[in-house]
Amino acid sequence: MRKAVLIWFIWLSATPALAQTSQPIAHKHMIAAAHPLAAEAGLAMLREGGSAVDAAIAAQAVLALVEPQSSGFGGGTVALTYASGTGQILAWDGRETAPAAAGPDLFLSRDGKPMGFYEAGLGGRAVGVPGTMRMLQQMHHAQGRLAWEHLFQPAIRLAEAGFPVSARLAASIAQDGDRLRRQPEARAYFFRPDGSPLPQGTILKNQAFADTARAIAQWGADVLYRGQIAADIVSTVRNDANAGLLTADDLATYTAKARPPVCGPYRGLTVCGMGPPSSGGITVLEILGLLEHADLAGHDLDSLDSVHLLLESERLAYADRNLYIADQDFIPVPIRGLLDPGYLTARAQLIDPDHANPAPRAGNPRFAQPNLAPSLPQPEHGTSHLAVVDDQGNGLTMTTTVQDAFGARLLTHGFLLNNELTDFSFAPQSNGRLVANRVEGGKRPRSSMAPTIVLGPDGKPRLLIGSQGGGRIIGFVAQALVRIIDGGMDPQDALNAARVQTTGGAAELEAGTNVAALADALRARGHVVNVLPVDSGMQAIAITPAGLIGGADPRREGVALGD
């Protein structure tokens, strides 16, 4: 076992040695997705000569049907793509936007205090302009090989013939039953006539979804942004009891964006992620930049010292995230300052190896806007992730979401609308200082989504990875990268391993795992500790000289499939 770890680490560091692994290896192409039916749809496109983007579009269309609590036509998506012909990495921004009429008081009660999460997030108030399909079509124009219309056929067939409700979907419906039942369309779809939630194994059909998917296939994403479907989205939002501000103009003027990724070094590799409005890429890179000051290779990554170091690095990075990161089209984000090696060295010196700092303050990087107030993270649950490598070596890693589980709980034309605006800070200012992530018309709310590509010294991808998990995504991805790069694990073993994370406050240890036994020792070092179940949803593909090695988080129902 020790030999296998060393060989894997040496390969990641650039030597073309074979990775030792017990995981299945594909030689042509691979997709890892959060539901088997979605992975099968993507694999079918790869087998027909489709690109990584083609496979992702087919998989996303199926996820919208079979995993509606996590993503869909009414949500938002971010992705990184690697083009093998040019070596270019692009960060695709299909994040939702606030309606033009939205202002800083959107989530303030009449007394001027922030609303409760579900007071704000259920119904139309928190619905942002969905960006997923605009982004996917823009990606297809750039990197698709198969016909757009063809990519939606698996989802259309499943919607019309019906698909079995999975254990996870059944559990999600039951858990969210009180909220879903408030909306007549959602109640009719997710519950039986007697009011009981659909049980596992129920064959669920959705003709309205099939009709929408067929319209998108025939006419393109524009059917969601202009015309009857768009008009019904607006009507659903504005006529809800908790009405939102979305207009036809908001939909018609939405644009997805191709942005440069944010990249930084780690152990001789280059790690690239999603920049603002996502905080994922910058914060993951900060955590790795802090950890690079410690020698972790060959050490027990689940030891007390290693876990303490990881948690302290995450707290420092989250403190910066909460103060500085927001939509860079509205506020200057000091990306270069936050990732500057000198700045990270100074921050790393704040870590006490024996004592926790439960509430570290943000640093003062170059290029930072002064006099900002930090915002607290909002709950995030409804997210999914997939990764693809095609037969030409193109890669894609994509995180997709409707924000909370089942989003706004508003169902129209067979799909759910997001409640993504709850990712904004509910309070626009604190102590007279503005919050960077405050609500503004046309602005994209800050995200934690962290699709990541790791490049070798030759500039070619070695790993594609990402996760669901709301604000915890950042910690999930950072820890998995450390396990793979420093610990020598293959992707599946890294995804199987125990989770440790913090979003800046309490340390969270995964219940029922070996790390849960560290709780008392961490408390003795000053950590506030919660031991709890973890619902991560990671997918990963490693690209090795021996082939493609996939991994899917066992805490969910995802799979990695390839040829």
Catalytic residue among 77, 212, 383, 503: 383
Burial pattern 303-320, b for ≥16 Cβ within 10 A else e, equals eeebbbbbbbbbbbbbbb
Amino acid at residue number 174: A
Q: What tokens does 397 get? A: 């890693």
What whole-number distance in Å separates Cα of residue 331 and Cα of residue 302? 38
For residues 127 and 237, is the Cβ–Cβ distance under 8 A? yes
Q: Report how far residue 389's alpha carbon sits from residue 393's, in angstroms, rounded to the nearest whole number.
A: 6
Residue 261 contacts residue 275 (beta carbons within 8 Å): yes
Beta bridge partners of 411: 416
Q: What's the rounded Cα separation, in Å, for the pair 18 and 109?
A: 59
CB 81 within 8 A of CB 143: yes
Q: What is the distance between the alpha carbons of residues 472 and 512, in angstroms, rounded to a whole number?
A: 19
Write out the E strands in 408-555.
Answer: 411-412, 415-416, 429-430, 433-435, 452-455, 461-466, 500-501, 507-510, 529-532, 539-544, 547-552
Using CA of residue 35, residue 411, residue 277, residue 500, what is the dihedral sign? negative
Q: What is the pLDDT of residue 376?
A: 72
pLDDT at 298 (0 to 100) = 80
The per-residue pLDDT for 23 is 63
Those residues with Cβ within 8 angstroms of residue 117's Cβ, 6 or more apart along the chain or in another chain? 378, 379, 422
247 tagged catalytic: no
Distance from C-alpha of 262 to C-alpha of 392, rounded to nearest angstrom: 24
Dist. CA 304–CA 410, nearest whole Å: 45
DSSP string, 154-189: HHHHHHHH-EEPPHHHHHHHHHTHHHHTTSHHHHHH
Pairing of strands 507-510, 529-532: parallel
DSSP result, 534-553: -----EEEEEETTEEEEEE-
75 CB-side CA count, 13 A: 32
Residue found under tokens 């890179």: 285
Nearest to 280, CA basis, from 397, 445, 449: 449
Other beta carbons within 10 Å of 344: 26
pLDDT of residue 16: 27
Decide: helix, strand or coil at residue 143: helix
Residues 110 and 116: their CA atoms lie apart, in Å, by 13
Tokens representing 410 are 């508003």
Q: Give phi and psi for 376, each to the nearest 5.
A: -85, 145
Q: How far is it, in rounded angstroms, from Cα 523 to Cα 228?
A: 57
Token pair of 420 as six digits: 């993504």
Give me the amino acid identity at 289: G
Nearest CA-CA partner of 482 in 341, 315, 302: 302
Residue 63 and residue 97: Cα distance in Å, rounded?
22
Domains defined along the chain, listed by start: 30-253+380-430 (no CATH), 259-378+446-562 (3.60.20.40)
Measured CA distances, 78 to 33, 259, 324 (Å): 15, 10, 20
Per-residue pLDDT, 375: 86
* Alpha carbons within 13 A on the beta-carbon side of 267: 21
How would you write the pLDDT of the chain (563 residues) with one tens digit per residue?
323 332 233 333 332 222 334 566 899 999 999 999 999 999 999 999 999 999 999 999 999 999 999 999 999 999 999 999 999 999 999 999 999 999 999 999 999 999 999 999 999 999 999 999 999 999 999 999 999 999 999 999 999 999 999 999 999 999 999 999 999 999 999 999 999 999 999 999 999 999 999 999 999 999 999 999 999 999 999 999 999 999 999 999 999 999 999 999 999 999 999 999 999 999 999 999 999 999 898 889 999 999 999 999 999 999 999 999 999 999 999 999 999 999 999 999 999 999 999 889 999 999 999 999 998 766 666 699 999 999 999 999 999 999 999 999 999 999 999 999 999 999 999 999 999 999 999 999 999 999 999 999 999 999 999 999 989 999 999 999 999 999 999 999 999 999 999 999 999 999 999 999 999 999 999 999 999 999 899 999 999 999 999 999 999 999 999 99
Q: Among 327, 276, 270, 316, which Cα is nearest to 452's?
A: 270
The amino acid present at 429, given as its one-letter code, is Q
Q: How far apart are CA 310 and CA 318, in angstroms?
A: 12
Residue 155 contacts residue 41 (beta carbons within 8 Å): yes
Other CB atoms within a 10 A radius of the CB of residue 120 amount to 22
CB atoms within 10 A of CB 484: 25
By DSSP bridging, strand 163-164 and strand 203-204 are antiparallel
pLDDT at 9 (0 to 100): 30
Rounded Cα distance, 169 and 172, in Å: 5
